[in-house]
Amino acid sequence: MKLIDIIINNAEKGILITSYCSSCKIHIWPPNHYCKSCSKKTGFRKINRKGVLLEKSFSNLPDLIGNYGVGEFSGIRMIGSVDPSILPDDRISISQVGIKDNKLNLEFSKIKIKRLK
Ligand SMILES: [Zn+2]
């Protein structure tokens, strides 16, 4: 079974994982059987669903019209759909994990910061 199929199977259950090097303690995306830094075999690990939005842009591709953002989670960068109100540097979470055309389809939401009264 291919790495991406294992990741997709988990994503279908709402679990977001990717390759992980336990020597370097880094998540690897796109997934790879071997760590690019130390060449050791990788395992799997969950991705922390809280991160930061790095970039946002509008897609005009017919299948993907809308706002998309690049978020950083667990040190890796992933693309997801975003609400127009989200801005770069906002703290975000991966609120939806789904599959579309056998690819990961993520949705990011802004994390609302609770203010102390
Ligand atoms: Zn490594």
- CATH of residue 79's domain is 2.40.50.140
In percent, how much of the chain has pLDDT > 90? 85
In a domain, 115, yes or no: no
Mean pLDDT of the chain: 94
Q: In angstroms, how far is CA 74 from the centroid of its own chain?
A: 9
Is the bond preceding 62 in cis, omega lying within 30 degrees of 0? no
Q: Does any domain span residue 66?
A: yes
Q: What angle do CA 42, 31, 67 make, to 5 degrees?
A: 150
| 1 CA distance to ligand 1 middle (Å) | 22
Which range is least confidently modeled, 20-29, 53-62, 106-115? 106-115
The enclosing H or E element of 76 equals: strand 76-81
For residue 93, tell me if it sits in a domain: yes
Q: Is residue 117 part of a domain?
A: no
Range of the domain at 28: 3-110
Residue scoring higher pLDDT (67 or 112): 67
Q: pLDDT at position 113, please? A: 77
Count of domains observed in the chain: 1
- Token pair belonging to 111: 């994390």
* CB atoms near residue 47 (< 10 Å): 22
Three-class secondary structure of residue 56 per DSSP: strand
Residue 42 CA to ligand 1 center (angstroms) comes to 8
Measured in Å, residue 29 CA sits from the centre of ligand 1 at 13
Question: What is the distance in A from the centroid of ligand 1 to the CA of 43?
Answer: 11
pTM, two decimals, is 0.88
